[in-house]
Amino acid sequence: MIFLENEYLKASFAIKGAELQSLKNKKNNTEYLWSGNPDYWGKFSPVLFPIVGGLKQHTYYYKNKAYHLPRHGFARDKNFEPNQISSTTLVFSLKHDEETLKVYPFPFELQLRYTLTGATLSCSYTVSNPAEDNLLFSVGAHPAFTTEVNADIAYTDYFLQFNKEETLTYHKIREDLVDHQTATIALSGRKLPLAHELFYDDALILKTLKSDCISLRNYKNTRGIHFSFKNFPFFGIWAAKDADFVCLEPWQGIADGIDHNQHLEHKEGITVLPPGRQWTGSWAVECF
């Protein structure tokens, strides 16, 4: 484990997947991140790359050749190279290798920079193309924030508050793929009350979200987070069945649609990065 720490927060990271695994308030020892309980979901905040979501039949085609990738790609299972810049800044790097080229025929460089500033942890993603051909990719975040449940507070005491007026139109998931069918949730006071049943059919997939900051709060105490993000056009909200957490997931990319032709260059949300160029996106969580 690698740690970042300042007077407000202490964050813990694993080299595998460059994964944030703990985020604690030092003053009251409050943990903001999910525990990773494998009975529900054994991850904390995986990095999604070079795809987001599932592929149709776990297969895509590029230049008339078939390739296979698991849901959300391979980055979350790879060891990143860490570089601790200071007690409050940490950079993780991942590059293509012989194994990645077998399933994803693109040279790439993926860098995550985590920084503590006051009571905020920020994470920026930089994807670089070192090759002489275009780089096709998607990248996404998947942090799971805990909802403390005890005798005094229930999961249904929590809510998400959006910073802009929204009517949430979400796409349904069918066998890990995005369906054409949509449903809507009308918000009162820009609030989405949490309930385990919200996620019984998988994530809420949002393609038209207006907000760029979502707060997780509850009616029983003053603790919570403000989660902001930049340059991610898609968003997912998810929790494992009956688990006491909620994932807030900004995505540059999305799972295959149910009728997708499986050609990578036609994949919805795929980013085409020319040679020598970079793409960046970021999120930040302010803890209170």
- The alpha carbon torsion through 72, 246, 167, 222 (nearest 10 deg) reads -150
% the chain with pLDDT above 90: 97
Q: Are 158 and 248 in contact (CB under 8 A)?
A: no
CB 265 within 8 A of CB 138: no
How would residue 89 be classed by pLDDT, with cut points 50, 70 and 90? very high
Q: Is the pLDDT of residue 114 over 90?
A: yes
Rounded to two decimals, the pTM is 0.96
Task: Indicate if the pLDDT at residue 118 is higher than 90.
Answer: yes
Distance CA 95, CA 45 (A): 20
Q: Examine the pLDDT at 56 and tell me if it is beyond 90.
A: yes
What is the pLDDT averaged over residues 86-111?
A: 98
Residue 27 DSSP symbol: T
Q: What is the pLDDT of residues 137-193, one digit of tens each?
A: 999 999 999 998 999 999 999 999 999 999 999 998 988 899 989 999 999 999 999
- In this predicted structure, what is the pLDDT of residue 256? 96
Maximum separation of any 2 CA atoms in the chain, in Å = 59
Q: Which residue has the higher pLDDT, 175 or 79?
A: 79
pLDDT score at 102: 97
Q: What is the pLDDT of residue 211?
A: 98
Given this model, what pLDDT does residue 279 score? 98
DSSP per-residue codes, 32-95: -B----TTT---SS-EEBS-SSPPGGGEEEETTEEEE--TTBSGGGSBPEEEEEETTEEEEEEE
Estimate to the nearest angstrom the gap between the alpha carbon of 185 and the chain centroid.
Answer: 22
Predicted confidence band at 219 (pLDDT cuts at 50, 70, 90)?
very high
pLDDT at res. 175: 86
- Candidates 227, 27, 229; CA nearest to 144 is 227
Across 114-125, average pLDDT: 98
124 in Cβ contact with 281 (< 8 Å): yes
Structure tokens at 109: 């460089």
Q: Which domains does the chain have, with CATH numbers?
A: 2-287 (2.70.98.10)
| Residue 207 backbone class (left: φ over 0; alpha: ψ -120 to 50; beta: rest) | alpha
203: exposed, middle or buried (C-beta count within 10 Å: 0-12, 13-18, 19+)?
A: buried
d(CA 208, CA 235): 9
Which two three-digit tokens encode residue 162? Answer: 């959006």
137 close to 128: Cβ distance less than 8 angstroms: no
pLDDT, average across residues 31-52: 97
Tokens 């849901």 sit on residue: 71
pLDDT for the residue numbered 221: 94
Asked if residue 274 has pLDDT above 90, the reply is yes
